[in-house]
Structure 1
Amino acid sequence: MMLGMIVFAAGVSMGLSEPAIQSEPLRAVLLTGQNNHNWPYTSRVHAETLEATGRFRVEIADDAPAALQNSDDLSTVRVFVLDYNGPRWGEPAETNFLNAVREGAGVVIIHASNNAFVGWTEYEKLCGFMWINGKTSHGDFHRFDVDYLKPEHPILRGLPGMKDHPDELYHNLINTQNSPFELLADAYSSPESRGSGKREPMAMTLSYGKGRVFHTPLGHVWKGSDAQKASIHDPQFKVLLARGAEWAATGEVTLGTHSHDVRRHNVLTADEAAAGWKLLFDGHSASHWRGFKKDAFPNSGWEVREGAIVRVPGAPAPGDIVTKDEFGDFEFSIEWKVNAAGNSGIMYRCDENHDYPWQTGPEMQILDDSGHADGKHPKRRAGTLYDLAECAFDVCRPAGEWNHARVVCRGTRIEHWLNGFKVVDVDTASAPYQEAKAASKWAGSTTHGSLSRGRIALQDHGDEVWFRNVKVRELK
């Protein structure tokens, strides 16, 4: 688990108007780190949803009390985003948070954050509608329409409402402190879905001192559920969240009504260049890559398209591609997305003295976990050290969504990072690793994982897979 503040920068999609692009990004602090839901997943997706608009600079606080210790530091926060359902923060965190909101910082409350802090009167006033055990409940995760009730409100202006949104629908939330609110959206909780048979609030605004609050009980992703991840990848939800956050921060909305990513990809920041990173793909040319055991990049089957290296399905199998350079101790960073039921992989420290890269190179699995049979095998899901080590966190995104991966190799130590979390950490010289290997498909192999230096390979498994933001740095 990562603690403290993390300044986030990665990729999803959202549109905004030209004035917003030109303005200084709004400082947003996303408070998370504890939740009975899959917070490692939801927190990073919410951060990307906001970052991709170009309107926000998001700092992720996995240790919320620590992030709220310094009242002076909070004076520049424009909006707090709560993806949290855990214990009270204690002092001075609680007072600092409330004072910052009273002085004008906005708040966004997402899903189970309205379950948190029952009994903390000031939070209940700020939140408005609370989950109260024994009274509040929900039916089945299902698809439903969300009706927008105040089309003139800046958050909703130009939006038609949500159609066929996949989510959990809370019913009987309780306004425990009778807080004044403006209801922006509701949905019918159908008896067929084990709901209340009534219309239930789905988005609302409140105020707390000078602070504006946007609250939506949407955005449910339970631990261990691949299907429920769709709730926060629905473009309709992303638009509502981003516009709600901008309104909470500024009182105005400049963001557009549709989603697209405004950030630049396949470039190095000044900090990355200073840290020794090198681009292995500039968005236009695959000059750092060639076919495995080939002199050039494949003429068909792989192509550069829309700022990505793409394995094109249906073409004759071109085989894996590999870096022209070899790497020993290194850090490799890449973003990938795969089609439905797709499979691929990142192999590293591979040689070309064998028939395939996997005969020598360990593999970070790339997979549509929900659509491919390997997704049911804990050591073959996306992010795993294939067939050897399972992931510590369930953070892989659905087919068609971009994932950020990192591989770090130092001597016999291997780390896999997926979407901001270290999911694998092994020492290939250790007894546990050797035991795992003996129980895997690599049992008896004297070559797999044996090299301290080699090429990085992107696997041709016959499925469509996209790669971008491909970077590497050698570690001394």
Structure 2
Amino acid sequence: MHKPFLLALICLSLCSAQAQKTGLIPVLIVDGFSNHDWKQTSAVTKWILEESGRFEVDISTIPADSIQRESWNPTFGNYAVVIQNTNNIQNTRLRWPTQAERNLESYVKAGGGLYILHSANNAFPHWKEYDKMIGLGWRKSSEGYTLEIGPSNQITRIPPGEGQGTGHGNRFNALIQILNPHPINKDYPSQWQTANTEVYYFPRGPAENLTVLSVAYDSTSTKKTWPVEWVVAYGAGKVYNSSMGHLWKGEFYPPAYRCVGYQTTVIRATEWLATGKVSCPVPANFPTAKTQSLRAEHTFKAP
């Protein structure tokens, strides 16, 4: 057994013991660079999770200084779930240190949970194991398979070189359609409306060990249906990936984050990544196919 894998396994055992002691699930958000508002994204996500009373959330910010960045290497095994909130799509020279990359791989392989938050699936085309962990991401047409959903909910696997690279049209109030039942979406309506969302068309990657949870029709661009949420098995670990959760520069706690359906999904996905189960109930004001459900604007205050 490789030493990093063994250390990750030991840390995960300690993490489990700590979670049982405090009753809260330990979560780490990783941020530091993105073309999105990563500071506010991390702050709102931390608030959503901690307000549920189920989680204790830390944030590890990758240093801006390149020398300091090289020594950045969190102990992922201290946490049941790592939420990845970095994206280098506009500057591919910004990367995690190699040792941190290897440690994340070992952490997930040993049973850790990884949440890929919105544009984090745009990141790191150089990192082949990351591609395997995320399953599908923002990639060129030559870089991996894409999954298109047909009119009868059949999945067509489109090979590299066919179709387009990943993109999205304008944001819109997307109708999320459950494709596969899962603990995360248990008791959800079969369709529910979320606010001001990007639906990625032609998301690409290895698409291995992957289950599509939900899909949405891209009404603003391709006029086709694409995956919105999916989970990936990577070693003994679990990965949740979704294009929901867009928070752009200049926005403040926007409707996409105020959506009760989105917030419920963040909580339930994180709990499932940590425990393999979901105890968070579906709230009575969960959105339906015809109606949105947004929390009040003043509920969240930025730090």
Q: TM-score, normalised by structure 1?
A: 0.48
Q: Provide the rounded CA distance (Å) in 2 between the counterparts of 1:141 and 1:124.
A: 25
Matches within 5 A, 1:418-429: 419-420=302-303
Q: Which has the larger radius of gyration?
A: 1
**Amino acid in the other structure paired with 1:29:** L
1:115 to 110, 122, 133: 122
- The answer for the alignment partner of 1:97 in structure 2 is 104
1:188 partnered with 2:217? yes
Cα deviation digits, residues 278-300 of structure 1 (max 9, x gap): xxxxxxxxxxxxxxxxxxxxxxx
Given that residues 194 and 256 in structure 2 are in contact (C-alpha distance below 8 angstroms), is that contact kept between their aligned partners in structure 1?
Answer: no
AA at the equivalent of 1:83:
N
Whether the 8 Å CA contact 1:121–1:177 is kept in 2: the answer is no
2:194, 2:261 within 8 Å by CA — same for their partners in 1? no
Residues 21, 250 of structure 1: CA spacing in aligned structure 2 closer, same or farther, 3 A cutoff?
closer
Q: Residue 50 in 1 paired to residue 49 in 2?
A: yes
Cα distance in structure 1, aligned partners of 2:55 and 2:107 = 18
Alignment partner of 1:149 is 2:170: no
SS of the equivalent of 1:159 reads: coil
Corresponding position of 1:389: none
Q: TM-score, normalised by structure 2?
A: 0.74
Cα distance in structure 1, aligned partners of 2:71 and 2:266: 22
Residue type of the partner of 1:232?
Answer: Y
**Could you tell me the percent identity over the aligned residues?**
29
Partners of 2:70 and 2:97 within 8 A in 1: no
1:206 corresponding residue in structure 2: 232
Q: Distance in 2 between matches of 1:121 and 1:167?
A: 28
Q: 1:259 to 1:208 in 2, by over 3 A?
A: farther
- Three-state SS of the structure 1 residue aligned to 2:299 is coil
After TM superposition, list the pairs within 5 Å mapping 1:437-476 onto structure 2: none
Residue 178 of structure 1 and its aligned partner are, at CA, apart by: 3.4
1:88 equivalenced with 2:88 (yes/no): no
- Point out where structure 1 has 5 or more consecutive residues left out of the alignment: 1-19, 261-396, 404-418, 421-476
Task: Count residues with an aligned counterpart.
Answer: 242
Higher strand share: 1
Structure 1 residues 212, 66: closer, same or farther in 2, change over 3 A? farther
Checking the alignment, whether the CA contact within 8 Å between 1:145 and 1:187 is kept in structure 2 is yes
Letter in 2 for 1:59: D
- Determine which structure has greater relative contact order: mean sequence separation of CA pairs < 8 Å that are 6+ residues apart, divided by chain length: 2
* Alignment check: 8 A CA contact 1:142 1:167 kept: yes
Deviation string 1:320-356 (CA, Å, 9 cap, x unpaired) is: xxxxxxxxxxxxxxxxxxxxxxxxxxxxxxxxxxxxx
1:57 is displaced (CA, Å) by: 0.6
1:15-26 to structure 2, matched below 5 A, reads: 24-26=23-25
Report if aligned partners of 2:31, 2:85 keep a CA contact under 8 Å in 1. yes
Map Cα deviations across residues 110-146 of structure 1 (whole Å, 9 max, x no partner): 1110000012100000001110157111111111210
Taking the TM superposition and a 5 Å limit, the aligned residue runs for 1:32-431 are 32-63=31-62, 69=73, 73-86=75-88, 87-133=94-140, 135-151=165-181, 153-160=182-189, 161-174=191-204, 176-190=205-219, 193=220, 195-226=221-252, 229-258=254-283, 399-403=297-301, 419-420=302-303
Structure 2 CA distance for partners of 1:243 and 1:22, relative to 1, 3 Å: farther
Report which of the two has the higher share of helix: 2
Runs of 4+ in structure 1 off by over 4 angstroms are 20-23, 64-68
The amino acid across from 1:237 in the alignment is: Y
Give the aligned CA root-mean-square deviation in angstroms.
2.5
Deviations 1:83-127 (A, max 9, x none): 210322023211111111111110011111000001210000000
Q: Is the 8 A contact 1:30 1:58 kept in 2?
A: yes
Aligned residue for 1:92, secondary structure, equals helix
In 2 relative to 1, CA 99–67 (structure 1 residues): closer, same or farther, beyond 3 Å? farther
Secondary structure class of the residue paired with 2:176: strand
AA of the residue aligned to 1:245 = T
Seen in structure 2, the aligned counterparts of structure 1 residues 149 and 159 have a Cα distance that, compared at 3 Å, is same
Does structure 1 conserve the Cα–Cα contact (< 8 Å) formed by 2:214 and 2:230?
Answer: yes
Q: CA 1:165–1:239 in 2, change beyond 3 Å: closer, same or farther? A: same
Deviation at 1:165?
2.7
1:20-44 per-residue CA deviation (whole Å, 9 max, x = no partner) reads: 9997111100011111011111111
Structure 1 residues 68 and 75 mapped into 2: Cα distance closer, same or farther (>3 Å)? Answer: farther
The CA deviation at 1:68 is 5.8
Task: Report the CA distance shift for 1:114/1:164 in structure 2 as closer, same or farther (over 3 A).
Answer: closer
State how far apart, in whole Å, the 1-side matches of 2:29 and 2:229 are.
19
